[in-house]
């Protein structure tokens, strides 16, 4: 009887060990594969971790795209297998007004609410609301920064003068010309990549990166005191609280003057 | 004609497998609106959503709130296999079935079983893999099997471009041919295991008529899940195990009319014991 129990326990332990070994290898691969952060997702995609939870890898968004912009990651692409992405330098997103790629998504990995707006009780598509990524200019390799006139990205931008605007700066080398420098405003940039597609340099000097990768974060303790809306965040706060230590108990003036005889 | 009859289910299976593939490929390359997407999730005539219920359950396990279309699609597919299809997905739909069937055919043709070193592996591995896939989906925050599944890799590859996906297909082929008989479909694949579970009580079943049986064992020779044929020559009953893929190979090879498709008779008590 005892022998039987032992045999059962050992075989159970064996099974668990095999499962753990397999599970470990499996988990290691999946965890690595899904952490590819430099990947541009289709319009309306949720944040990457949420997207990776939801995407069922069916390719309905890919099939809906009329420009063949979207692709499904194949083995060898070094992206999470089967998930949709695009490479703007090859084919950018042309920002269709009717957004054909988002509604077919069966799981909600592409969030239709993020690219629609309710106007007069009607749902209206607004592709300019999408945030697939943000364009970043490499100011060393952008020839406009050399003083050569080039506004390829600026002209290509579907949100011209908003997402990319031109900043004028004196060309100090010649002394009499202006440099027309492209500047990206992340508040408007959708990450469509038309600029990257249009860039004339051998390797694009303006590139779209995932917003999570490219953008910083200020933190809530910075308040724009000159903006009413931002300033209003301070309402209800208990005022400034300072930490009191033995050193800071007295005011600096007091401690500076300590022990000095002024007579 | 008799030859055709000998392969009638095989021909039907290859037809459905290839026809579905053609419809899906047409959906991507030529814009056909019949079946779009792939086996993970698709849309039929642009209206009816379909989804792989196993993939949807894995998404559940990640803790994400899934869209209604995928939910409806998964319910439709699950109900279809639970009531009608059984585990027929594996033998009538799945593209990997053609690869493993080829490996199995060559195994028989070259009589590899006689010479190959035998490995024993439990056919329950697939159920462990199912359990593991839910745990990993929960921990890693992504549908874990879907990222490694050779089934969806193959199907997706044929529709959207293969990349290095052929390597997975070759691996499965070699594994089934030289390492483990029915290795992938019969031991490991959790999708097959999943359909075994939900298709356990479907209507269509193979029935064994014991008095006709001459014990030639041709059926067990071709069956990819031969444990399910435990009753051969012993008693008349339906093949009741969920692992039966309803491929019909046993029905075809039986020269004695001892195996046939039938409809499960729920009313009959003691179905298991006698007819």
Q: What is the ipTM of this complex?
A: 0.84
Chain A residues within 8 A of B163 when measuring between CB atoms: 74-77
- pLDDT tens sequence across B154-170: 888 888 888 888 888 99
CB-CB under 8 Å, A58 with B38? yes
B127 lies in the same domain as B255: no
Q: Is the residue at B270 inside a domain?
A: no
Number of domains within chain B: 2
B61 lies in the same domain as B190: yes
B168 touches chain A (CB under 8 A): yes
Is domain A48-129 given the CATH code 2.30.30 in the classification? no
B243 lies in the same domain as B257: yes
Class level of CATH domain A134-212: alpha beta
B168 lies in the same domain as B38: yes
The enclosing domain of B235 has a CATH number of 3.30.70
Chain A residues within 8 A of B142 when measuring between CB atoms: 30, 34, 52-53, 80
Q: Which domain holds residue B255?
A: 203-263
B59 lies in the same domain as B91: yes
Interatomic CA distance for residues A181 and A170, integer angstroms? 10
B54 lies in the same domain as B100: yes
Q: Lowest mean pLDDT: which of A176-190, B109-123, B192-206, B241-255?
A: B109-123
Q: How far is A102 from chain B (nearest CA, A)?
A: 12
| Long-range contact pairs involving A81-84 (C-beta distance under 8 Å, separation at least 24) | A81/A33, A81/A57, A81/B147, A81/B148, A81/B153, A82/A55, A82/A57, A82/B40, A82/B146, A82/B147, A82/B152, A82/B153, A82/B156, A83/A39, A83/A41, A83/A51, A83/A52, A83/A55, A83/A57, A84/A41, A84/A42, A84/A55, A84/A59
Interatomic CA distance for residues A101 and A68, integer angstroms? 11
Inter-chain CB pairs, A–B, below 8 Å: 144
pLDDT number for residue B97:
92
pLDDT number for residue B274:
45
pTM of this structure: 0.83
Tell me the pLDDT of chain B averaged across its residues: 87
Last residue of a domain, one of B197, B220, B243: B197
Q: Lowest mean pLDDT: which of A64-68, A242-246, B68-72, B203-207?
A: A242-246
Residue B270 in this model has a pLDDT that exceeds 60: no
Q: What ranges do the domains of chain A cover? A: 48-129, 134-212
Interatomic CA distance for residues A202 and A181, integer angstroms? 19
For B40, which residue in chain A has the nearest alpha carbon?
Answer: A58
CB-CB under 8 Å, A80 with B144? no
Chain A residues within 8 A of B165 when measuring between CB atoms: 74-75
Q: Which of A143-157, B230-244, B258-272 ranks highest by mean pLDDT?
A: A143-157
B17 lies in the same domain as B128: yes
Chain B residues within 8 A of A18 when measuring between CB atoms: 128
Q: Can you tell me whether residue A116 is helix, strand or coil?
A: strand
Token readout for B129 is 């893999």
The arithmetic mean of pLDDT across residues A82-108, rounded, is 92
B131 lies in the same domain as B240: no
The arithmetic mean of pLDDT across residues B234-258, rounded, is 88
Chain A residues within 8 A of B23 when measuring between CB atoms: none
The arithmetic mean of pLDDT across residues A56-85, rounded, is 90
Query: Pairing mode, if any, of strands A84-85 and A71-72?
Result: antiparallel
Last residue of a domain, one of B175, B197, B219: B197
B152 lies in the same domain as B227: no
Last residue of a domain, one of B145, B167, B197: B197
Q: Can you tell me whether residue A177 is helix, strand or coil?
A: strand
Q: Is the residue at B103 inside a domain?
A: yes
Percentage above 70 pLDDT, chain B = 96
Q: Is the residue at B268 inside a domain?
A: no
The arithmetic mean of pLDDT across residues A67-88, rounded, is 89
- pLDDT tens sequence across B10-51: 899 999 999 999 998 988 888 888 888 888 888 888 888 899
A47 touches chain B (CB under 8 A): no
B49 lies in the same domain as B175: yes
Residue partners of A127: CB distance under 8 A and separation at least 6: A43, A95, A96, A97, A99, A115, A190
Q: How far is B88 from chain A (nearest CA, A)?
A: 21
Interatomic CA distance for residues A114 and B43, integer angstroms? 23
């Amino acid at each position: 009887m005892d022998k039987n129990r032992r045999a059962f326990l050992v075989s159970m332990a064996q099974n668990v060990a095999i499962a753990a070994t397999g599970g470990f290898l499996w988990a290691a691969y999946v965890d690595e594969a899904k952490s590819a952060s430099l990947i541009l997702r289709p319009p309306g995609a949720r944040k990457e971790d949420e997207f990776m939870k939801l995407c069922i890898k069916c390719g309905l968004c890919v099939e809906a795209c009329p420009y063949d912009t979207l692709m499904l990651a194949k083995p060898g692409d070094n992206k999470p297998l089967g998930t949709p992405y695009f490479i703007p330098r090859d084919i950018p997103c042309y920002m269709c007004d009717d957004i054909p790629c988002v509604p077919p998504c069966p799981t909600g990995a592409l969030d239709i609410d993020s690219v629609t707006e309710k106007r007069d009780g009607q749902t209206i598509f607004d592709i300019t609301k999408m945030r697939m990524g943000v364009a970043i200019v490499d100011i060393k390799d952008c020839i406009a920064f050399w003083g050569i006139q080039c506004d390829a990205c600026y002209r290509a931008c579907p949100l011209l003068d908003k997402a990319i605007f031109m900043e004028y700066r004196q060309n100090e080398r010649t002394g009499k010309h202006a440099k027309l420098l492209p500047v990206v405003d992340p508040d408007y940039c959708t990450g469509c990549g038309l600029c990257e597609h249009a860039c004339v340099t051998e390797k694009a000097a303006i590139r779209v990166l995932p917003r999570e990768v490219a953008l910083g974060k200020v933190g809530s303790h910075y308040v724009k005191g000159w903006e009413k809306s931002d300033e209003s965040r301070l309402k209800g706060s208990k005022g400034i609280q300072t930490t009191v230590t033995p050193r800071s108990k007295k005011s600096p003036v007091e401690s500076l003057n300590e022990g000095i005889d002024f007579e | 004609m008799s030859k055709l009859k000998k392969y009638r289910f095989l021909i039907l299976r290859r037809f459905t497998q290839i026809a579905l593939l053609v419809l899906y490929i047409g959906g991507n390359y030529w814009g056909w609106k019949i079946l779009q997407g792939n086996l993970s999730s698709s849309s039929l005539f642009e209206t009816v959503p379909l989804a792989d219920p196993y993939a949807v359950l894995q998404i559940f396990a990640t803790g994400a709130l899934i869209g209604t279309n995928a939910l409806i699609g998964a319910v439709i597919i699950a109900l279809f296999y639970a009531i009608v299809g059984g585990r027929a997905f594996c033998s009538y739909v799945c593209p990997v079935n053609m690869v493993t069937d080829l490996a199995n055919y060559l195994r028989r043709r070259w009589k590899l079983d006689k010479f190959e070193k035998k490995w024993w592996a439990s056919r329950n591995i697939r159920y462990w893999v199912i359990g593991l896939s839910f745990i990993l989906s929960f921990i890693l925050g992504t549908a874990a099997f879907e990222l490694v599944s050779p089934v969806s890799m193959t199907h997706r590859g044929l529709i959207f471009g293969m990349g290095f996906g052929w390597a997975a297909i070759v691996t499965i082929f070699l594994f089934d041919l030289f390492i483990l008989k029915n290795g992938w479909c019969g031991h490991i694949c959790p999708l097959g295991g999943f359909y075994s579970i939900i298709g356990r009580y479907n209507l269509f079943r193979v029935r064994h008529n014991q008095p006709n049986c001459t014990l030639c064992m041709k059926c067990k020779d071709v069956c990819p899940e031969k444990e399910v044929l435990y009753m051969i020559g012993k008693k008349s009953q339906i093949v009741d195990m969920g692992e039966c893929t309803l491929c019909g190979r046993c029905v075809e090879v039986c020269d004695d009319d001892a195996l046939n498709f039938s409809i499960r008779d729920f009313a009959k008590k003691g179905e298991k014991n006698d007819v």
